[in-house]
């Protein structure tokens, strides 16, 4: 089996373990085709989920199993250019945060098709996905009813140098062994879902493009007392190696006094959506 087939088989294996019926939809955007995996009541308020870098939409299966789809129509997104089943446009790459916002505009348009432009959307992201969600909320606050940030990176605190150095070999030349070793180190040996781990290892040969990076989002507009912006919920992973979660939580409270900010003790950054799903759903979904 070639790498592409192996990755697809691993992807389907993880998605196949989601509870209930899952509908796979390919949304056309100016930046390519975006794969969205949907589940939950069709008439429920939409919950759009952005994964961390390299994690694929399948990482949200534990949250779905914990009840995220009981009161929401879940739309779990594969990031364009990242491992997954989204396909970047050959002639229009996502290069800037403005491009990311334009891409997500098109994704939300597809999600809201038939629901009306003012349907109450909850946008949630983990890690890099939270960075994208925060930038979107800063520029499109009126489109969102709620914003959920799960251990956001590069939003309220920078990355620890030691984390970056440890991740660098995996990022420069990913191999299954390097991916497995890095995740074992960062999660402090947490028991991660074996099928999802195989999918992560299978992403080593995925032809990903360079992710968009840039400054921290300017969230000053969300701190205004006008009530025009979304309700913001932020959860940090207490055992995160990527940043100091306590310091990041304090910075989040200072930047967004109206946000609900919490720290989940004993949870590593990369394990957050997998091992703390019940607590995440209880608190924010």
Write the pLDDT tens digit of every residue in 69-126.
Answer: 999 999 999 999 999 999 999 999 999 999 999 999 999 999 988 666 566 899 999 9
For residue 74, the cross-strand partners are 39, 47
pTM for this model (two decimals): 0.96
| Chain mean pLDDT for the chain | 93
| Distance between CA atoms of residues 54 and 170, nearest Å | 11
Mean pLDDT of 259-283: 97
Pair of tokens at residue 104: 């997500």
Q: What pLDDT, in 10s, does the model give residues 201-249? A: 999 878 767 789 989 999 998 877 666 689 999 999 999 999 999 999 9
Question: Taking phi first (over 0 means left), then psi (-120 to 50 degrees means alpha), and beta for anything else, what does residue 93 get?
Answer: beta
pLDDT at 14 over 90: yes
Can you read off the two tokens belonging to residue 184?
A: 């074992």
Strands 122-126 and 146-150, sheet pairing? parallel
| Residue 42: burial class (beta carbons within 10 Å; 0-12, 13-18, 19+) | exposed
Q: What is the pLDDT of residue 3?
A: 65
Backbone angles phi, psi at 49, to 5 degrees: -115, 125
* pLDDT per residue as tens digits for the range 147-189: 999 999 999 999 999 999 999 999 889 999 999 999 999 999 9
Contact 44, 27 (CB under 8 A): no
CB 201, CB 213: distance < 8 Å: no
Encoding tokens for residue 224?
Answer: 């205004």
Residue 226: predicted pLDDT: 61
Per-residue pLDDT tens digits for 32-51:
999 999 999 999 999 999 99
The helix or strand, by DSSP H or E, that contains position 64, with its residue range, turns out to be none
Q: Of 229, 28, 78, whose CA–CA distance to 139 is shortest?
A: 229
Identify the pLDDT of residue 18. Answer: 97
Model confidence band, residue 284 (pLDDT cutoffs 50, 70, 90)? very high
Beta bridge partners of 147: 123, 232
180 burial via Cβ count (<10 Å: 0-12, 13-18, 19+): middle
């Amino acid at each position: 089996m070639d790498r592409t087939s192996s990755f697809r088989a691993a992807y389907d294996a993880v998605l196949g373990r989601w509870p209930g019926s899952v509908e796979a939809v390919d949304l056309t955007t100016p930046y390519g085709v975006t794969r969205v995996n949907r589940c939950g009541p069709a008439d429920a308020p939409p919950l759009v989920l952005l994964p961390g870098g390299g994690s694929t939409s399948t990482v949200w299966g534990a949250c779905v199993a914990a009840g995220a789809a009981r009161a929401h129509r879940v739309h779990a997104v594969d990031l364009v250019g990242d491992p997954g089943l989204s396909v970047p446009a050959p002639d229009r790459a996502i290069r800037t945060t403005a491009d990311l916002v334009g891409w997500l505009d098109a994704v939300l348009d597809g999600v809201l098709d038939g629901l009306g432009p003012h349907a109450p959307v909850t946008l949630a992201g983990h890690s890099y996905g939270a960075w994208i969600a925060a930038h979107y909320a800063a520029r499109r606050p009126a489109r969102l009813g709620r914003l959920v940030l799960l251990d956001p990176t590069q939003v309220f605190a920078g990355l620890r140098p030691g984390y970056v150095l440890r991740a660098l070999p995996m990022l420069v030349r990913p191999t299954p062994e390097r991916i497995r070793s890095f995740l074992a180190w960062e999660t402090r040996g947490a028991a991660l879902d074996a099928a999802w781990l195989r999918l992560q290892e299978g992403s080593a040969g995925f032809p990903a493009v360079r992710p968009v990076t840039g400054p921290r989002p300017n969230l000053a507009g969300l701190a205004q007392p006008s009530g025009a912006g979304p309700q913001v919920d932020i959860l940090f992973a207490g055992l995160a190696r990527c940043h100091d979660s306590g310091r990041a939580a304090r910075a989040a409270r200072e930047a967004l006094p109206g946000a609900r900010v919490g720290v989940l003790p004993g949870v590593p950054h990369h394990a957050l959506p997998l091992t703390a799903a019940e607590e995440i759903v209880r608190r924010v979904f």
